[in-house]
């Protein structure tokens, strides 16, 4: 379905949990208040919403979190998104810690691609960026965590799965990791992408490195980079190839360039809040509608959920704005737009 600005909204990001086994410095603080179990939608409820979204024109669904692989039943959920909800394409975004053991079941479920978030290959920087140092203390344990993520990336690529590695480069934290991470694309057919930090929650304490500077750093060390024009993914990334590399480099200039004019996405949080933009304070909950009496998901309820989805699509804003006051909404009203809550 098209929104009021003519954009085709065909991509839904679904968060299946607000829990996470990492505490990335710019994302999820320690001691956050998590939703209570009954507030979180069951996987069955999420499938109902996704089916309604597909009937509104959504074709691609990204499963995210928190850490989605912490949610029991995830592989069956992914299969249901394809077989019952009717999504053409289902992909997963994960921190990779629990990925390797799930890969065979994920592939069997029909997963089309996996994005692994990885901000550093250097163990000390990995421990720092993921908050593991403070939480676990033991360097041995944490090195093992990093090894598991890297091993999962190679195994997924080896299985022929479409793999993207996502890094958020931050000044004074992991800039030294831009080249080592980029080099993962030299011998392996993966896309290594650098995402500009968005000022949501605690991320506003850090300064992201702009895409242009990231490209300059990679170009100087590994170039010349040339624009890659093939089709890769559904998002706003620009891709580049380096001479003789099997994989590609991508940048997502979320802040410096923005991509609102071609934005095709909606987001659903694990407790059923549907949102059309990260920077707006709209909070449309589908949970109440879903849980109305009578129980079940009959045609009337389906029509009501579909109507809410259509309204959210229609009212999608023209562009994002992370300033303290936006369209009369105070940043305070947008405090729930945090990546670990809404799925990044």
Choose, by CB under 6 A, the member of 50, 152, 195, 211 that binds ligand SAM.
195
Q: Taking CB under 6 A as the rule, does residue 275 contact ligand SAM? A: no
DSSP 296: S
What are the E-state strand segments in the chain? 11-15, 60-64, 89-94, 113-117, 162-167, 191-195, 226-227, 238-241, 248-252, 265-268, 273-275, 284-285, 325-326, 329-330
Whose tokens are 């389906």? That residue is 302
Number of residues that bind ligand SF4 (CB under 6 A): 13
Say how far apart CA 317 and CA 322 lie, in whole Å: 13
Choose, by CB under 6 A, the member of 3, 12, 16, 23 that binds ligand SF4.
23
Say how far apart CA 157 and CA 266 lie, in whole Å: 28
Q: Taking CB under 6 A as the rule, does residue 198 contact ligand SAM? A: yes
Q: Taking CB under 6 A as the rule, does residue 113 contact ligand SAM? A: no
Q: Give the x-and-dash track for 37-76 against ligand SF4 (CB under 6 A).
A: ----------------------------xxx---------
DSSP letter for each residue of 41-60: PPHHHHHHHHHHHHHTT--E
Choose, by CB under 6 A, the member of 17, 91, 95, 310 that binds ligand SAM.
95
Which residues face 170 on adjacent strands? 208
Q: Give the x-and-dash track for 24-53 against ligand SAM (CB under 6 A).
A: --xx--------------------------
**Contacts (CB under 6 A) with ligand SAM, residues 141-180:** 166, 168
- Other beta carbons within 10 angstroms of residue 317's beta carbon come to 18
Span from 18-26, 80-88, 187-195, 241-249 in contact with ligand SF4 (CB under 6 A)? 18-26
Q: Taking CB under 6 A as the rule, does residue 95 contact ligand SF4? A: yes
Cis peptide before 294 (omega within 30 of 0): yes
Choose, by CB under 6 A, the member of 12, 14, 16, 27 that binds ligand SF4.
27
């Amino acid at each position: 379905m098209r929104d009021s600005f003519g954009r085709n909204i065909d991509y839904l990001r679904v968060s299946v949990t607000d829990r996470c086994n990492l505490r990335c410095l710019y994302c999820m603080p320690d001691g956050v208040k998590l939703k209570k179990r009954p507030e979180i939608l069951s996987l069955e409820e999420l499938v109902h919403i996704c089916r309604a979204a597909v009937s509104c024109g959504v074709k691609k669904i990204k499963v995210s979190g928190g850490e989605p692989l912490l949610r029991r039943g995830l592989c069956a959920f992914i299969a249901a998104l394809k077989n019952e909800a009717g999504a053409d394409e289902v992909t997963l975004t994960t921190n990779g810690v629990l990925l390797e053991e799930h890969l065979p079941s994920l592939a069997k479920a029909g997963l089309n691609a996996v994005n692994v978030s990885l901000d550093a290959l250097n163990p000390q920087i990995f421990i720092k960026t993921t908050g593991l140092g403070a939480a676990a203390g033991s360097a041995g344990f944490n090195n093992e965590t990093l090894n598991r993520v890297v091993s999962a990336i190679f195994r997924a690529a080896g299985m022929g799965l479409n793999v993207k590695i996502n890094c958020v480069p931050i000044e004074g934290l992991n800039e030294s990791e831009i080249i080592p991470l980029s080099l993962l694309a030299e011998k392996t057919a993966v896309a290594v992408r650098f995402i500009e930090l968005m000022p949501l929650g605690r991320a506003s304490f850090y300064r992201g490195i702009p895409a242009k500077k990231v490209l300059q750093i990679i170009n100087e060390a590994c170039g010349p980079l040339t624009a890659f024009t093939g089709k890769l993914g559904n998002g706003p990334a620009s891709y580049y190839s380096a001479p003789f590399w099997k994989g590609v480099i991508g940048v997502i200039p979320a802040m410096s360039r923005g991509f609102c004019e071609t934005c095709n996405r909606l987001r659903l949080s694990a407790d059923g809040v549907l949102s059309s933009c990260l920077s707006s304070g709209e909070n449309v909950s589908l949970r109440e509608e879903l849980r109305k009496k009578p129980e079940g998901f009959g045609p009337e309820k389906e029509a009501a959920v579909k109507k809410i989805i259509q309204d959210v699509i229609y009212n999608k804003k023209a562009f994002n704005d992370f300033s303290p006051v936006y369209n009369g909404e105070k940043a305070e009203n947008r405090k729930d737009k945090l990546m670990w809550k809404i799925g990044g």
